[in-house]
Structure 1
């Protein structure tokens, strides 16, 4: 599994939609007559609702609309972050043995705690640490972030007491969980400790990957110049020296994210193009959907909609191949915007329909009737 931390993806999903002119007070907002509720006083960026052509419009059929809650793009961003930390979750070195000898795992919290306590009392600390990692992953998949962090801390303490090799995976997973949960200072402290260990053991690739994660923490602390230099001046030389192409592609993507956080989209695109070329050359295929999405997003922010459309469509094909539904949702969202601005109502209707289908599937607690 590629050693990477997918940081908060919100920058890649911020809505930069078009302004809609104020409607005449005696003219209905929706010509089809289907919209009865919307905020007529809203004067911010973005539409109150999306309106697709109704019976009186060019396409001559009943209109459909997509009402977008303000800030829902943040929910999509969180979903991407959540998906990424699960994908990046590292197994312990004894994971295979544990799955073979403790299968099936406990099915409830009480049984999990009883098993871990029994192993602790019997001083089977490496097993207990490995099982704690497995339990933390289950909790993470259930969305129980706080409980997952608590179990990872428990497992890490067990691994330290036993002086086992399980510590690396637990530290990595805990640092990711801290960052996702907004515990920035805890994530920073853990990464610095991790870096010291990597330097002491002369593990160069671990040093470089840790530096990339430290850069992302610095970016969240708004220390952007330090974050840029951490990757460019410290991580890149190690990746070049070790010829670690996977790590360098990941570092280029993270650096592009740091520039996007600063709204520096020209710089972001330069590094994304480098990442795409290297990923294509070295067959780092699983990074390509994110790279293409980020390239399209920067063009979208710069209002280069024709290029953004082509790149979003390419990103969608890659996301479809990967069956990445959260990324598909983000792409449908942006393409719907672009097609509406272009007056391409047929494609806009298709994108918005797919958007709602996926949104209702992925966010069941926030379902909206179509």
Structure 2
């Protein structure tokens, strides 16, 4: 009996020992994370791996593209302003503050119109009305600008002031183009061409026909645009020997080909523009042409070949203080560096672009 009890105790002891050993083995083994498990305690959060330097710079370039709308709008506004014409209006009356931190430019011009109305100086009233129309156009208020320009051009036509009337017709043509009323814009350019022919002003006629080519291209009439440049505008500009305008005409024709997706022809014409600019020492025109060549190369995947063109264009843009072009160059060369895997250079270009962008935007706000 005693022996049986002893044997039973021994078996029980061994069983407990085996159970304890099994439990220890089970809990000491590592277990995989089970996403389906829902137990007590906080939810497990797995941190993503830190971004590499390349991923960071790629993200910054993506952000740059998303944030460019304001900058591009300001650059377009400046280019639009450079094409609009003022007429003689003299200085602001001494009674009107010239401090734009106190009153806006629009308020200054409106006050000038009121002042000259009071003293019955109608020529100055019309001149400042044109100025106000330019401000309205730059703000995108086409209806107000159109009303002001039309009122002024009627007065100048009645007076027979041909020079001032041409300036306002030019502004009306640009306004209708900007507003998308292309047929109306063409009508004003036809009127301007008729005046230029009557005045035997071949340079003006050449420039107005170049504007018509741009509108035809905008309408998708690429062949018509091509013909206008080659058969009408280009011969007139050559005859006038205005080489910067000839360079601009070649760049316009190249852009028409580029929009038509005839990239080989476009590249060849851009190169011709660069040659003419170099031959006649037109460094501003050369900067524009080299930039357009680089942009086209970037567009068709030749970013590595575009970099030298961007660099040369940048030197000329800095020399001639071409602020808007310089920003566009830094934008393009940064993309070229990024696409060719030159991440250090891409980071430097992005930094330079951001500095120039802030300076440009602040300057436009202060104007």
Does residue 82 in structure 1 map to residue 90 in structure 2?
A: no
TM-score, normalising length: structure 1: 0.72
State the alpha-carbon separation in 2 of the partners of residues 261 and 182 from structure 1: 18
Pick from 329, 333, 355: which aligns with 1:357? 355
State the alpha-carbon separation in 2 of the partners of residues 250 and 180 from structure 1: 20
Partner of 2:322: 324
After TM superposition, the structure 1 = structure 2 runs for residues 9-20 of structure 1, keeping only pairs within 5 Å, are none
Change (3 A) 1:286 1:137: farther
Q: Deviations over 1:252-306 (max 9, x none)?
A: 1211121121122221222222222222222333222221110101111221222
Does residue 129 in structure 1 map to residue 126 in structure 2?
A: yes
Does residue 99 in structure 1 map to residue 90 in structure 2?
A: yes
Shift of 1:83: 1.6
Change (3 A) 1:105 1:221: farther
Q: Which moved more, 1:258-267 or 1:73-82?
A: 73-82
Q: Is the 8 A contact 2:93 2:112 kept in 1?
A: no
Shift of 1:310: 0.9
State the alpha-carbon separation in 2 of the partners of residues 152 and 183 from structure 1: 16
Q: Which moved more, 1:342-351 or 1:179-188?
A: 179-188
Q: Deviations over 1:77-126 (max 9, x none)?
A: 4433222122233232xx2xx31584676756567456546756987543
Does residue 162 in structure 1 map to residue 153 in structure 2?
A: no
Unaligned runs of 5+ in 2: 1-45, 98-102, 363-367
Shift of 1:181: 3.5
After TM superposition, the structure 1 = structure 2 runs for residues 294-313 of structure 1, keeping only pairs within 5 Å, are 294-313=292-311
Change (3 A) 1:31 1:118: closer
Runs of 4+ in structure 1 deviating by more than 6 angstroms, as ranges, are 120-123
Shift of 1:149: 4.2
Change (3 A) 1:322 1:110: closer
Shift of 1:74: 5.8
Higher helix share: 2
The number of residues matched between the two structures is 309
Larger RCO (CA within 8 A; separation ≥ 6): 1
Q: Deviations over 1:206-235 (max 9, x none)?
A: 211111001001111111100010010111
Q: Is the 8 A contact 2:284 2:317 kept in 1?
A: no
State the alpha-carbon separation in 1 of the partners of residues 110 and 359 from structure 2: 33
Shift of 1:152: 2.7
Shift of 1:199: 2.4
Partner of 2:42: none
Pick from 46, 51, 69: which aligns with 1:31? 51
SS at match of 1:65: helix
Q: Which moved more, 1:215-224 or 1:177-186?
A: 177-186
After TM superposition, the structure 1 = structure 2 runs for residues 148-297 of structure 1, keeping only pairs within 5 Å, are 148-164=145-161, 165-297=163-295
SS at match of 2:168: helix
TM-score, normalising length: structure 2: 0.72
| Root-mean-square deviation over aligned CA pairs | 3.3
Asked which structure has the greater CA Rg, the reply is 2
Partner of 2:37: none
Q: Deviations over 1:18-71 (max 9, x none)?
A: xxxxxxxx9958625x9xxxxxxxxxxxxxxx8247xxxxxxxxx973333666
Q: Is the 8 A contact 1:208 1:234 kept in 2?
A: yes
Change (3 A) 1:264 1:127: same
